[in-house]
Structure 1
Amino acid sequence: MDNENALLAFAALGQPTRLDVFRLLIKAGGEGMSAGEIGTALNVRQNTMSANLSVLARAGLIRSNREGRSIRYFADMNGLRALLGFLLEDCCGGQPELCQPLLDELTCC
């Protein structure tokens, strides 16, 4: 990931509704959620939700899959991994043992 893509991701996550959407989709995992389900869970109108989902998708943080007439949204774990990798690229000045507690905390169960 380069600076420009990282800035897009941070800008997308820098708005409260989009941050809530992203966290909700991470929680949903492989099941994902439809835009309607996300909107209902967060009490956000459909047109507002659509705009927020577009911003997150352009930032590479979510992906979608069409299922008939509806679309399911998922957290893009590759996008998240790239963003975290960008942040931790030069972690701890070449002393990886200093980063290990952070990496252990980030590791999913």
Structure 2
Amino acid sequence: MDNTDAIGALAALAQPTRLEIFRLLVRREPDGIPAGELARVLAVPQNTMSTHLAVLSRAGLVIGTRHSRSIVYRANVASLRELVLFLLKDCCDGRADICAPLIADLIPCCP
């Protein structure tokens, strides 16, 4: 990931509804959620949801797969991983003792 990709991903997440969409999709991995259900669960009009999903998709954060007449969206976990690693790449100028608590906080989230 380079600066441009990271800025694009962070910009896409820098909007409350899109951040909420992405966090919900991450929680629902690996199954994903159909676009209509996403709109209903988050109480967002379908045309607005479509716009938000397009922004997240262009940023590489979500993947839509057509299933019959609906599109099921999933978080692009590989892209999330790249973004987090990009942000932590030069963590604390190589001083592991400073980064260790941050990394330890990430471990319990995935038992």
TM-score (norm 2): 0.93
Runs of 4+ displaced beyond 4 Å: none
Q: Could you tell me which runs of 5 or more consecutive residues in structure 2 were left unpaired when the two chains were aligned.
A: none
Instruction: Determine helix, strand or coil for the equivalent of 1:25.
Output: helix
| Number of corresponding residues | 109
Partner of 1:50: 50
Cα deviation for residue 68 of structure 1 reads 1.3
Aligned-partner SS, 1:30? coil
The CA RMSD measured in Å over matched residues stands at 1.0
Match of 2:24 in 1: 24
**Counterpart for residue 97 of structure 2:** 97
Q: Name the residue aligned to 2:11.
A: 11
Where 1:49 maps in the other structure, the secondary structure is helix
**Which SS does the other structure have where 1:29 is aligned?**
coil
Structure 1: gaps (5+ residues): none
- What SS does the corresponding residue of 2:74 show, helix, strand or coil? strand
Separation in structure 2 between the aligned mates of residue 104 and residue 67 of structure 1, nearest angstrom: 38
TM-score of the pair, normalised by structure 1: 0.94
**SS of match in other structure, 2:28:** helix
Identity %: 51
